Structure 1
Amino acid sequence: SVIGTIEHKIETNINTIALQPLLKIGLFDNSFLHLGLSVRFLTSTSFEQRETLIEPKDLTFENGSKIRMNYGGKIPKVTSSLAGAVGGINYEFPISKHKDWFISPEVFLEYNFNNIIPDEKWTALTYRMALAVNYRKALEVIERFEQYEKIDTVKIQLPQIASRKFVIGEPKLLYDSVKVKNVLTIKENYFRTDTLYLPPEYLMTASLKITALEDNGNEVQSPEIKVEEFLYNKMQPILNYVFFDSNSYELPKRYKILNKEEAKNFTLNKAFTKEELGFYHNILNIIGYKLNQNKDAKITLIGHNNNIGAEKNNLTLSQNRAQKVKDYLTSVWEIQPDRIKVVAHNLPETPSNSRAIEGQEENRRVEIYSDNFRITSSLIARDTLLETTFYDKDDTKMRRLNFGGFRIYTNVSSEKEINSWQVALVQGRDTLKVFKGTGPVPMYHDWTIKNNKFVGEILSKPINVVLTASDVSGNQVNVRESPKVEVKTIAVKRQNRETDTKRDSYSMMLFEFASAKFTEENKDFPNIIRRLLKPDTKVQVIGYSDSFGNDNFNLRLSEQRAQAVAKAINHPNTISKGVGETILLYSNDTPEGRFYCRTVDIITETPVHW
């Protein structure tokens, strides 16, 4: 045997027809990426095989030739089609004037997923390099026109001018064009620099300072104001009288008159309004509502006159006054007429002093009585109370003061004459007060809160004081400041688990006229209050009076009434005092205002632990 070198060679020929859907993606100008799939259908196949003796050159195969096993033919068992993926890139060089003919070198690579012979591991990886000539109709050029404007203003101060002067600069136009594919964008740029000549600047300043006022007008320079929210129940007595104007049986306009539809939607909570004595002016609606809630109850209306002048012995007028109340209750509240009895008298059984005009006003009334105590019983409002505490930080004894309002100091400085000014107190969207004028701004303005009942409600929300002023040259200054008020709500106290206090107020009109003796129908009322108190409850009884009569007598009477109530309550933590007419709870311009001032308030404080 001889060691030699033999070359084994197999040549195949596979002819196909290919279907290749491609996605053409532009990379940059005239450069494209092609991605897609390929399906090839085999049309014909062939192969040729042989072995050639290379070394040694002086020998041959047993057949006397250097070539043996030389045969060929059709490749057996081939698949009918090949599926694969194809990708490639090309670049197009324009070769015509209108850029519609291109010469394009391209490179493609194709990989087939299935075997050429199904049972054999034989796949095909094909690459193709070509130089193509392409025709593509040139796109129509689309022109777009864009305008850009830039205007600057240069400010220059000139000492020789007294007012502003504006000079428009010379405009400049610059054009630029950018072409992307078949879109030609032409840009017009407009430039201009204007000049604003200004007179010399001067400083216009303003400042605010806010202090507090006591209810007597004294100023507190360093106030400490706190508003605290408490749980609060208020028992409000119902004055079962309806008062009339002289020689008239028409209901005065201050009483709240409803229509039938409004009466259907009325509730006792709606009787409590911000209007002074608003609950009392709903007296007829309260009675109508309670009569509808207590179907078996009946009432008696006793009409009275003051028995003076045109009203002397005028029982017809008394009758008409009572009938007017009945008509309202039957027509609006739809109370059955047989549940309402009408009686006419001259003076009331317990009249006020007829020698005084105030007493005559109080005797012109209709009294309402019922066989069911619920009809004229007190109203109870369950709500929260906002209590205001006010101190002077400079007072070493830190005595509690009565808050009366704010003093607002204003200072506006300008080299020019002040034209107009305004000081506004704003709370949210509401304007509480506005001071305004022309010329010099006053040194301060006083904003007083006349109704102490709403002080806590007003101070519990932020108040902004806004000062605006302008001078004769049109310059303007605007500053704002807010008074410092510390607000502590029930929610905050609950969150912090603070020890709190529940406040309750029971107002009572228990006494005969000019007497410290309880009326028969109210003599058991203090016992009811006593049962509501806890051992650690603190009780304060305050007696009041109206301004009618002698000051000293009213003070002594209010003290006696407060002491009588405190004695009847009989609670160990009780203090009482009378203030007479030094504190008027309500305006004394109306009979009801005076009646509601002849009262005793029982104020209780009970600890609450959250």
Structure 2
Amino acid sequence: MKHFSFYHLVLLIALVVPASLLSQTIPSSSGIRPRIGLYGGVNINEHSANFSGLPGTPSCCPEYQSGSGLGPTFGLLYELPLTSQILLSLRGGFASTGGTLTANELTTVESNGVAVPMNIQHSIALTKTEIGVTGLFGWRLSDQLYAIGGLNAGYVLTASFFQKEQLSDETLQGTFENGSRIRHEFTGDVPNAASIQTAVQAGIGYELPLNREGSLLAVPEVTFSYALIPVTSEVPWKTHTVRAGIALKYSPVQHLNPPNLPPNNPDVPPQPPTPEIVASVTAHGLNKSGVESNVVQLEVEEFTSTDRRPLLNYIFFESASAEIPDRYQRISEDQTEKFETDNLYGLGKLSDHYQLLNIIGSRLRTMPNSSVRLIGTNANVGEETNNRALSLQRAESIRNYLHEIWGIDEKRLIVESRDLPSVASNATDADGQAENRRVEIVADNPAIVEPILLHDTVRQPTPPVVRFRPTVNSELGIRQWRVSVMQDGHILKRISGEGAIPEYIDWQVDLEKESIPRAPGQMFYTLQIEDETGKITETSPEAIRVEQITIYNKRRERLADVEVERYGLILFDFDQATLNDRHLAILKDIAKRVRPEATVVVRGYTDRTGDPARNQVLALDRAKKVAAQLDLPESQITVESSSTPPYDNAFPEGRFYSRTVIIEVRNPIREGDSG
């Protein structure tokens, strides 16, 4: 018999009322829209127990410990975003949390004077349903992924059981004392079953937009509920639940009510109009020469590609630390057998540098007669002043990894230490100090640190840069802004900032391969503005047509095609355009691969350090030196420079890789070429 107490009623009210009151305190003008919807799924019920039988019900079971079962769950939901990252969710619905407890008892019986093993299967099948409410807080982990956690309280509708003890089907002989293979069959209500069930609930969900505006969402969810109250007060028996299902959520479109007309009283001045946000955004294309034009189409063409990526043979460290930073990828000894540089393509910018320790370890393993010098250095300022012990510890941390994980003999790993590197960055600048905290890997065999060669299919966008030009009029100022680009409900790119919005916002499509659209059709862009009061305005989606030109189509239609080869030169001396021996060796190899009908683009870059105007001149000067070394006709080669660093300059490695010259060779594919 279930008992509903005043305490249980108070618990339900305490869960529901705060959520309702909080939803009333959030003004509808905040620009954050609530959601309504429904959910459904399956409960995977896991029962934990520690008893031999229910009170008043005969049982010979030694002990029930666990069981499981499945059941449906469904209901309605209401969500109220509190901020852009946190939401409040209130749900009410039905759940089936039953299952079957089972226990096997091994015994022996005498048959014709012989001891025969016997397996008795004990079971209690619980039928349990409830209706309840759940209060959850949600935390957004990314644009579409979020975590939820909270408390569930339910009123038990049914709690009945069916018990039996049965001889195992594997035991084909014998019966119980009643002449049957089944005994102790009983059914009824669970004695003193709890009327209220409460549980702590946590889980994750992933939002999938079902329309362009994102007002209708399909949300797969997985949650776990840990029961706080047992099924009955008579025995230790709880039901924990894993719930897997999907929710459909809808954000109602807000309609502004017409303003109330002021009373016909000439003595009372009319109220000033509420400040509005007026926003618009247009998209423009930026070609490789920096010429801007209206963009109505983004063309994405596939090419076969050979990418020769230079290796920066430096490992950088945090201030006063000899611990290898987490951004450098480390693997276990067992994983070394499966490591291949061919798997590095498409892992994102600087992925090959973050695998540097494993690349060096792999090459040292395959070249057993080669060795490396590990030269630890420091910034020689603050705690690191004259701290060669720290420099040595940094070199030793690299040696230990190569020895312990890759099995390289320590005699081949020569550690050295000094203060500033032999070619140091500006020691008075924070960026320069970070660049001087490093270990240099110097090999006696150039093959140990030679560029990695990757073959793949590249997708080249035209124009390479999409420039968004916003126009915003907000009387209350701008708190934050965001430009979003979407295709087929998926976010391709988001660019955001705080405070005043810039004159233009550039999307470097050609430098962000992961954001290039992969399907033909249309992509859409919007601008969202939040003013200082929290009011949000978003522009209507504007379309840019996307055309895909695949290698397959070019082969089928016999269109002109090229093979793209890319080469990178790094490690230029600070503020210098002089080519070193490593550069000259690579350029000599490139010159051999340029066909007479090929076109070559040489593009120079610099990092964020120093004067931007000087950097632009330096980037172009480096590109010109490279072009002159290739010694190609002017009609065949184009020399350019870019003011935008090609890598994230927040870390030292990004700045080193940005001091580069990229050579792109486009060789026309002739009849009979493979591919």
Q: Normalising by structure 1, report the TM-score.
A: 0.53
1:77-136 superposed Cα distances (whole Å, 9 cap, x missing partner):
xxxxxxxxxxxxxxxxxxxxxxxxxxxxxxxxxxxxxxxxxxxxxxxxxxxxxxxxxxxx
Distance apart, 1:261 and its partner CA: 2.6
Structure 1 position 453 matched with structure 2 position 511: yes
Distance apart, 1:574 and its partner CA: 4.5
Distance apart, 1:225 and its partner CA: 2.2
Partner AA of 1:253 in structure 2: D
Which residue is 2:69 aligned to? none
Alignment match of 1:282 (pick from 329, 351, 355) = 355
Distance 1:571 1:424, change over 3 A: closer
Structure 1 position 403 matched with structure 2 position 466: yes
Which residue is 1:579 aligned to? 641
Cα distance in structure 2, aligned partners of 1:448 and 1:511:
28
Distance 1:431 1:387, change over 3 A: closer
Cα distance in structure 1, aligned partners of 2:292 and 2:623:
33
Secondary structure, in 3 states, of the residue corresponding to 2:596? coil
Partner AA of 2:572 in structure 1: F
Secondary structure, in 3 states, of the residue corresponding to 2:411? helix
Partner AA of 1:402 in structure 2: V
Structure 1 position 350 matched with structure 2 position 423: yes
| Runs (5+) with no aligned partner, structure 1 | 1-208, 391-400, 408-422, 436-445, 468-478
Structure 1 position 537 matched with structure 2 position 537: no
Distance apart, 1:350 and its partner CA: 0.6
Distance 1:306 1:431, change over 3 A: closer
Q: CA RMSD in A?
A: 3.5
Partner AA of 1:303 in structure 2: G
Cα distance in structure 1, aligned partners of 2:509 and 2:427:
31
Native 8 Å contact 1:464 1:480 kept in 2: no
Native 8 Å contact 2:569 2:661 kept in 1: yes
Moved more, 268-277 or 241-250: 268-277
Native 8 Å contact 1:466 1:480 kept in 2: yes
Structure 1 position 264 matched with structure 2 position 325: no
Which residue is 1:600 aligned to? 661
Distance 1:266 1:565, change over 3 A: same
Cα distance in structure 2, aligned partners of 1:425 and 1:362:
35
Native 8 Å contact 1:352 1:359 kept in 2: yes
1:29-74 superposed Cα distances (whole Å, 9 cap, x missing partner):
xxxxxxxxxxxxxxxxxxxxxxxxxxxxxxxxxxxxxxxxxxxxxx
Distance apart, 1:345 and its partner CA: 0.9
Cα distance in structure 1, aligned partners of 2:293 and 2:626:
37
Which residue is 2:402 aligned to? 329
Alignment match of 2:551 (pick from 451, 466, 490) = 490
Alignment match of 2:370 (pick from 297, 300, 305) = 297
Cα distance in structure 2, aligned partners of 1:218 and 1:565:
24
Distance 1:345 1:228, change over 3 A: same
Cα distance in structure 1, aligned partners of 2:624 and 2:292:
36
1:404-446 superposed Cα distances (whole Å, 9 cap, x missing partner):
4799xxxxxxxxxxxxxxx9976578555799xxxxxxxxxx9
Native 8 Å contact 1:560 1:578 kept in 2: no
Distance 1:543 1:450, change over 3 A: closer
Secondary structure, in 3 states, of the residue corresponding to 2:459? strand
Distance apart, 1:464 and its partner CA: 6.8
Structure 1 position 359 matched with structure 2 position 432: yes
Distance 1:211 1:303, change over 3 A: same
Cα distance in structure 1, aligned partners of 2:584 and 2:468:
41
- Greater CA radius of gyration, 1 or 2? 1
Cα distance in structure 1, aligned partners of 2:376 and 2:284:
47
Which residue is 1:591 aligned to? 652
Distance 1:405 1:291, change over 3 A: farther
Distance 1:369 1:434, change over 3 A: closer
Which residue is 2:456 aligned to? 383
Native 8 Å contact 2:465 2:506 kept in 1: no
Which residue is 1:550 aligned to? 611
Distance apart, 1:330 and its partner CA: 1.1
Which residue is 1:78 aligned to? none
Distance apart, 1:453 and its partner CA: 2.5
Partner AA of 2:393 in structure 1: N
Cα distance in structure 1, aligned partners of 2:399 and 2:434:
21
Secondary structure, in 3 states, of the residue corresponding to 2:561? strand
Distance apart, 1:578 and its partner CA: 4.9
1:177-222 superposed Cα distances (whole Å, 9 cap, x missing partner):
xxxxxxxxxxxxxxxxxxxxxxxxxxxxxxxx99744479999776
Cα distance in structure 2, aligned partners of 1:218 and 1:382:
32
Distance apart, 1:523 and its partner CA: 3.0
Distance apart, 1:451 and its partner CA: 5.5
Secondary structure, in 3 states, of the residue corresponding to 2:351? coil
Cα distance in structure 1, aligned partners of 2:508 and 2:311:
25
Partner AA of 1:488 in structure 2: I
Cα distance in structure 2, aligned partners of 1:566 and 1:425:
37
Q: Percent identity?
A: 33
1:351-409 superposed Cα distances (whole Å, 9 cap, x missing partner):
1111111111111100001111111000111112211114xxxxxxxxxx7324799xx
Distance 1:279 1:404, change over 3 A: farther
Cα distance in structure 2, aligned partners of 1:347 and 1:378:
26
Q: Normalising by structure 2, report the TM-score.
A: 0.48
Cα distance in structure 1, aligned partners of 2:335 and 2:573:
36
Distance 1:337 1:432, change over 3 A: same
Native 8 Å contact 2:571 2:659 kept in 1: no
Secondary structure, in 3 states, of the residue corresponding to 1:536? coil
Native 8 Å contact 2:623 2:641 kept in 1: no
Which residue is 2:81 aligned to? none
Native 8 Å contact 2:314 2:438 kept in 1: yes
Cα distance in structure 2, aligned partners of 1:258 and 1:533:
39
Native 8 Å contact 1:227 1:456 kept in 2: no
Distance 1:451 1:325, change over 3 A: farther
Distance apart, 1:585 and its partner CA: 0.6
Structure 1 position 312 matched with structure 2 position 385: yes
Cα distance in structure 2, aligned partners of 1:466 and 1:599:
32
Which residue is 2:565 aligned to? 504
Distance apart, 1:454 and its partner CA: 3.4
Distance apart, 1:483 and its partner CA: 4.6
Distance apart, 1:510 and its partner CA: 5.2
Which residue is 2:11 aligned to? none
| Runs (5+) with no aligned partner, structure 2 | 1-279, 471-482, 496-503, 527-539
Distance 1:457 1:552, change over 3 A: closer
Alignment match of 2:300 (pick from 213, 227, 232) = 227
Secondary structure, in 3 states, of the residue corresponding to 2:447? coil
Cα distance in structure 2, aligned partners of 1:554 and 1:481:
36
Which residue is 1:82 aligned to? none
Cα distance in structure 1, aligned partners of 2:494 and 2:650:
28
Alignment match of 1:254 (pick from 327, 330, 344) = 327
Cα distance in structure 2, aligned partners of 1:316 and 1:485:
57
Distance 1:315 1:492, change over 3 A: same
Alignment match of 1:559 (pick from 597, 620, 624) = 620
Native 8 Å contact 2:509 2:516 kept in 1: no
Distance apart, 1:577 and its partner CA: 3.4
Cα distance in structure 2, aligned partners of 1:555 and 1:406:
24
Distance apart, 1:285 and its partner CA: 1.1
Cα distance in structure 2, aligned partners of 1:307 and 1:219:
46
